[in-house]
Amino acid sequence: MSACLFCRIVAGEVPAQKVHEDDRVLAFRDISPKAPTHVLVIPRRHVGSLDELSAADGDLVGHLFLTVASVARQAGLDATGYRAVVNTGADGGQTVHHLHVHILGGRPLTWPPG
């Protein structure tokens, strides 16, 4: 069994509220939402963070971000806008070490982040 929480979600060992899945990526609702819509989009394959991607992952990253835009559109966020965030490493606030893009929307978001 994988020690990685998001790999366990991919494997179906931990339940998640999925909103999209295909052969390369999975999107599911964040368990502790920070906005009315808060969805995480992850690659099925374990990649620890943005910092662990290589040049060979270009197609996967493209598909990941196209999925972010498509999931946001499906949630109706394209009309009002949203934020896509990739927390990376300790100072970035990353707590789950499997690459994920946060989609946050449904309310105005402030800038800069804390």
Residue 97 appears among annotated catalytic residues: no
Q: Residue 21 or residue 30: which is nearer to ligand AMP going by CB?
A: 30
- Write out the two tokens for 51: 């910092």
**16 is an interface residue for ligand AMP by CB under 6 A:** yes
Q: 29 near 104, Cβ under 8 Å?
A: no
93 binds, among ligand AMP, Zn ion, none (CB under 5 to 8 A by kind): ligand AMP
Peptide bond preceding 108 in cis form (omega within 30 of 0): no
Site for Zn ion in 48-107 (CB under 5 A): 98
CA R_g for the chain: 14
Q: Which residues are the active-site residues? A: 100
